[in-house]
Amino acid sequence: MTDSLTIRDNRTGAEYEVAITDGAIKAADLGKIKTSDDDPGLCTYDPGFTNTASCKSAITYIDGDKGILEYRGYPIEQLAEKSTFLEVAYLVVYGELPTKEQYESWVHEITYHTFVHENVKGLMQGFRYDAHPMGMLMASVGALSTFYPDARNIADADNRHMQIVRMIAKMPTLGAWSFRHAQGKPYVYPDNELSYTENFLAMLFKMSELKFSADPRLVRALDVLLILHADHEQNCSTNAVRSVGSSQVDPYSAVAAGVGALYGPLHGGANEAVLRMLKRIGSVENIPAFIEGVKAGNERLMGFGHRVYKNFDPRAKIIKKACDDVFEVTGVNPLLQVAQELERIALEDEYFVKRKLYPNVDFYSGLIYEALQFPPEMFTVLFAIGRTPGWLAQWQELIMDKEQKIARPKQIYTGDRTLTFVPREERWADA
Ligand SMILES: CC(C)(COP(=O)(O)OP(=O)(O)OC[C@H]1O[C@@H](n2cnc3c(N)ncnc32)[C@H](O)[C@@H]1OP(=O)(O)O)[C@@H](O)C(=O)NCCC(=O)NCCS
């Protein structure tokens, strides 16, 4: 068997042989297929990149049909059970589990970079009282590029490490402050004696107590949620980070683009949409009518379906278990019953079965976040904090990849050509 593809162009009768490597052909090879010398050559049309690989990556492996997710070769189930978010962050960014010294130094560095410049605080205070925290996060992450102009030096490995540490460290601070802002409460400075996740909770919820402490089961549940979000290969926001990063801009600007992409309801905004949907359905007896509406195309069942998973999203299974741990501390959220019944009905319904629509990571995560007292607008912020190591790992991989170029897709032009411009006074002469 030869690893190549023979293409016969029926327009010209010409045959071409194109190499197949790693199950892919190079799109540029199709450019050789022409009908004449001034033909720009064949290209593929792929809105939403449904069947186009934009990079080679060794970070995350997903088998959507089997419901498998691995970071750097390790199954997500094992990482969620036995690791910590910061250890997973190191793994995702640097490709290997840290030694004891590497882990301690990584945790220390991240802990000591959680503070932000006071002017960042001033910037955040300038937002309207009802600003969406994702908008505040996007703006403040982008603003960090102005506080660290050295971040432009992306070719230097030590410099990249510094920005990676800074960004993983500061995201919870920015996220927590955007939450406090909406509540009109004073911003809480980081506490270097707390773990990454407990410190985040402290910056969110600390009031007048001298020392904040949270139930360890809640801290662990949140840490697991962050692990589950750490990377997910070439999703919309990662593609945004890579696309913007391909211009060789600093990583803060690239990650700000990722935050923007994550803000959308079809991506990170889905868990917020799930909770609003569950609240609107309200109780189990309203589910059949709601499902009928979905099947009639009136709306989507939020938290169901995935571009890649055509089976259970493995993260959804882990989250379902985390729900039990959290509800043990906080008491059961009555919407859990609605979610479980919705899942049961949808998994048996021909419409969802035929389209391979299963619960995704967002279906249950909103319920946990609500039990942890987060308002829905904050859900996507939590996703962004978890995804930051993944964005940075992907950005670093892009920078190191000699095959990468500035992202510049082709288009198929469908507009007019060769029109002649008529000045306004002539166009409007008869009006
Ligand atoms: C995630 C998502 C954007 C993936 O979209 P996609 O891969 O482009 O899939 P499509 O939009 O082409 O959907 C394929 C079919 O399933 C249907 N479908 C997909 N998700 C659906 C949902 N959540 N509810 C109802 N129908 C859905 C589509 O209407 C389409 O049906 P059709 O073939 O009759 O036209 C999509 O499943 C969705 O919108 N889900 C809800 C939002 C969500 O939970 N997002 C979080 C992702 S982690």
Phi and psi of 148, rounded to 5°?
A: -125, 70
The residue annotated as part of the active site, out of 161, 267, 325, 349, is 267
Question: Is pLDDT above 80 for 60?
Answer: yes
Tokens 């309200």: give the residue.
282
The per-residue pLDDT for 426 is: 94
The per-residue pLDDT for 402 is: 96
Say how many Å lie between the CA of residue 370 and the centre of ligand 1.
24
Contact 266, 378 (CB under 8 A): no
Nearest atom of ligand 1 to the alpha carbon of 313: 48
pLDDT band of residue 207 (cuts 50, 70, 90) is very high
The per-residue pLDDT for 367 is: 87
Contact 366, 271 (CB under 8 A): yes
Question: Is 267 an active-site residue?
Answer: yes
Contact 379, 368 (CB under 8 A): no
The per-residue pLDDT for 108 is: 98
Question: Is pLDDT above 90 for 273?
Answer: no
With a 6 A CB cut-off, is 362 part of the ligand 1 pocket?
yes
User: CB within 8 A of 266, min separation 6: which ones?
Assistant: 236
Q: In the chain, pLDDT over 70 holds for what percent of residues?
A: 100
Rounded to the nearest 5 degrees, what angle is found at the Cα of 137, between the Cα atoms of 132 and 139?
100
Tokens 């082709």: give the residue.
410
Mutational test site, ligand 1, from 281, 302, 357, max ligand atoms within 8 Å of CB: 357
Rounded to the nearest 5 degrees, what angle is found at the Cα of 240, between the Cα atoms of 235 and 241?
100
The per-residue pLDDT for 269 is: 77
Rounded to the nearest 5 degrees, what angle is found at the Cα of 428, between the Cα atoms of 423 and 429?
100
How far apart (Å, rounded) are the C-alpha atoms in residues 384 and 178? 13
Say how many Å lie between the CA of residue 349 and the centre of ligand 1.
15
Q: Which residues pair with 70 in a beta bridge?
A: 61, 75
How far apart (Å, rounded) are the C-alpha atoms in residues 239 and 303? 21
How far apart (Å, rounded) are the C-alpha atoms in residues 82 and 389? 18
Is 25 strand, coil or helix?
strand
Q: Output the average pLDDT for the chain.
A: 95
With a 6 A CB cut-off, is 295 part of the ligand 1 pocket?
no
Question: Is pLDDT above 90 for 143?
Answer: yes
pLDDT band of residue 321 (cuts 50, 70, 90) is confident
Dig out the tokens for 238 from the structure: 């990662």
Average pLDDT over every residue of 57-62 = 97
Say how many Å lie between the CA of residue 227 and the centre of ligand 1.
25
Question: Is pLDDT above 90 for 1?
Answer: no
Higher pLDDT, 262 or 307: 262
With a 6 A CB cut-off, is 410 part of the ligand 1 pocket?
no
With a 6 A CB cut-off, is 107 part of the ligand 1 pocket?
no
DSSP state of 400: H
* Least confident window among 23-32, 178-187, 341-350, 371-380: 371-380
Alpha carbon nearest to ligand 1 atom 2, residue: 306
Alpha carbon nearest to ligand 1 atom 19, residue: 305
With a 6 A CB cut-off, is 319 part of the ligand 1 pocket?
no
Q: What's the Cα-to-Cα distance from 183 to each of 200, 223, 373, 430, rounded to whole Å?
A: 16, 24, 13, 58
Nearest atom of ligand 1 to the alpha carbon of 297: 29
Average pLDDT over every residue of 309-326 = 88
Query: In 3D, which of 385, 399, 405 has the Cα closest to residue 114?
Result: 385
pLDDT band of residue 362 (cuts 50, 70, 90) is confident
Mutational test site, ligand 1, from 50, 65, 306, 383, max ligand atoms within 8 Å of CB: 306
* Least confident window among 144-158, 249-263, 298-312: 298-312
With a 6 A CB cut-off, is 301 part of the ligand 1 pocket?
yes
Question: Is pLDDT above 80 for 430?
Answer: no
With a 6 A CB cut-off, is 303 part of the ligand 1 pocket?
yes
- DSSP annotation string for 318-387: HHHHHHHHHHHHH---THHHHHHHHHHHHHHSHHHHHTT--B-THHHHHHHHHHTT--GGGHHHHHHHHH
* 219-272 tens-digit pLDDT: 999 999 999 999 999 999 999 999 999 999 999 999 999 999 999 988 877 888
The per-residue pLDDT for 388 is: 98
pTM over 0.85: yes
Question: Is pLDDT above 80 for 336?
Answer: yes
pLDDT band of residue 116 (cuts 50, 70, 90) is very high
